[in-house]
Amino acid sequence: MDLKSKREDLDSESIERLTLVEVEGVALTSDTAEKWGRIWGFQARPDDLLICTYPKAGTTWLQEIVDMIQHGGDPEKCARAPIHQRMPFIEICPPMFARLEEADAMPSPRTLKTHLPVQLLPPSFWEQNCKIIYMARNVKDNAVSYFHFHRMDQGMPEPGNWDQFLAKFMAGKVAWGSWFDHVRGWWEAKDRHPILYLFYEDLKEDPAQEIQKVAQFLELELPESVLNRIIQHTDFESMKANPMANYTSLSPLVMNHAISPFMRKGTVGDWKEHFTVAQNEQLDDVIARELGGSSLTFRTQL
Ligand code: A3P
């Protein structure tokens, strides 16, 4: 496929939406699937930190928090570049995101981002015993957020209407595959690997407590004044207004914030505005079936 016609040719009027291709049974966007060999062979380093999420679980929020912790709560240092350049997204193509080659050239210690499910993580991350921070978000809000993201990101596959998207989402026929497999796979992996497993809802409810958890995991001290600065800098309104965190630095041909802003609502419980009673019951059945045997539980309201 001619990738230029997909994401690289930003001079044209519009870009073409990507299609899905299965890699090891997981749906990935075609650009990622095409360079899968290169991604699988990615060389992690022992001092890499990996931020891992299912898409729309609050990745950017967690990235900004981590960057602030790593830079002593200095917002100027975190404004050095847009978030997608500060932390390479290992399976996504240029030009919007840092290239794998740029990640290779980046000095240590690096902080990297991925949405890959646990079984597709390049083996070098396990071999190097890298620290990983995983954040999960309840499936109902996650699905709603992903739907609106498909509408605004012109490179994502065509979402259809909400009913159509939700059916695909529940079947795992969306980019990065099944939400259920993702959250459960990483939940099980945390018992055999240095993984800090966080929840969007906890971070929303008590940012101070959750940010402290991240700092402890990174073995960094966080004085109260720095913690307070981080809380303020990374609250929803601040991040929505921050061009280095809100993705407005990308071409509107890629992300069209007029359709739906990247920083959309940032709440717990927005799913209630989208789900019918029948859809909610259907998803509850799927949750019971898919997560029933697991100790993993989610809150869908605060
Ligand atoms: P909504 O679409 O529900 O508003 P990701 O970064 O993984 O793509 O996730 C994006 C989601 O996280 C969006 O959810 C976005 O608004 C939300 N988000 C981003 N920054 C946030 C913050 N500081 N506080 C709460 N939610 C935030």
| pLDDT tens digits, 209-223 | 999 999 999 999 999
CA-closest residue to ligand 1 atom 26: 266
* Sequence letter at residue 81: A
Provide the pLDDT for residue 9.
Answer: 46
CB atoms near residue 85 (< 10 Å): 15
How far is ligand 1, taken at its centre, from the CA of residue 200, in Å?
9
Q: Which residues are catalytic?
A: 115
Measured in angstroms, how far is the CA atom of residue 58 from the centroid of ligand 1?
5
Q: Is 162 exposed, middle or buried (0-12, 13-18, 19+ CB in 10 A)?
A: middle
Q: pLDDT digits over 72-101, tens only? A: 999 999 999 999 999 999 998 655 566 778
Atom index in ligand 1 nearest the CA of residue 260 equals: 2
pLDDT of residue 228: 98
Residue 205 CA to ligand 1 centre (angstroms): 14
Ligand 1 lined by 54 (C-beta under 6 Å): no
| Contact present, 88 and 100 (Cβ < 8 Å) | yes
Ligand 1 touching residue 63 (CB < 6 A): no
Q: Return the ∠ at Cα 156 (arms to 154 and 161), rounded to 5°.
A: 90
Token look-up 């847009």 returns 82
What's the pLDDT at 280? Answer: 98
Find out whether the beta carbon of 236 lies less than 6 Å from any atom of ligand 1. Answer: yes
Q: What per-residue confidence (pLDDT) applies to 98? A: 65
pLDDT beneath 50: ranges in the chain: 1-9
The finding on whether 56 has its CB within 6 A of some atom of ligand 1 is: yes
Distance, CA 37 to ligand 1 centroid (Å)? 31
Question: Does the beta carbon of 265 lie inside 6 Å of ligand 1?
Answer: yes
User: Domains of the chain by range and CATH?
Assistant: 3-291 (3.40.50.300)
